[in-house]
Amino acid sequence: MFVKRFSMAVLACLMLSACGGVDPNSPLGQRKAIFKQMLKTNEELGGMLRGRIPFDGPRFAEGAVQLDQLSREPWKHFPQVREEDHTSARDEVWQKQARFQELARSLEAATGELVTASKVQPYRASNLGPAVQKVEDACSACHKEFRDY
């Protein structure tokens, strides 16, 4: 009897914990994964420039290319209409599509400029810092208009 009750309790807990997750194959799951990769890559680049981690020029350049590639991906995972799932995206993403797309293209341009800056050798923070800041500013601008925290 105890084993049966215990098994039922464990099963109920597992079922409830599964309800809170995001389907990784859903548009929301896809874009969240991309945004997390972008954040991780950007934090590594910024960490190199700010002295939190050792600077490695070739690794920085690779990260710039990766960030540029990632910056072009999340937009295709925003469906035409708002999902019913709770997201960090405000309704304005769907109401002001032209502005949202404008800011997406601004981020893509900034990451492209970062790739260009990361090709200049010798690597100098004075060349790379402004390009990283431009990427961070582009992210911030979109978050201010279109993301709930």
The yes-or-no verdict on residue 11 having pLDDT over 90 is no
148 three-class SS: coil
The yes-or-no verdict on residue 28 having pLDDT over 60 is yes
- 82-135 confidence digits (pLDDT tens): 767 778 888 898 899 999 999 999 999 999 999 999 999 999 888 999 999 999
Reported residue count of the chain is 149
Alpha helices in the chain (DSSP H): 2-19, 27-49, 57-70, 92-95, 97-118, 125-146
**What CA–CA distance (Å, rounded) separates 13 from 9?**
6
- Dig out the tokens for 77 from the structure: 């995972």
Quickly tell me which residue has 């084993």 as its tokens: 3
**What CA–CA distance (Å, rounded) separates 149 from 144?**
9
What's the pLDDT at 81?
Answer: 74
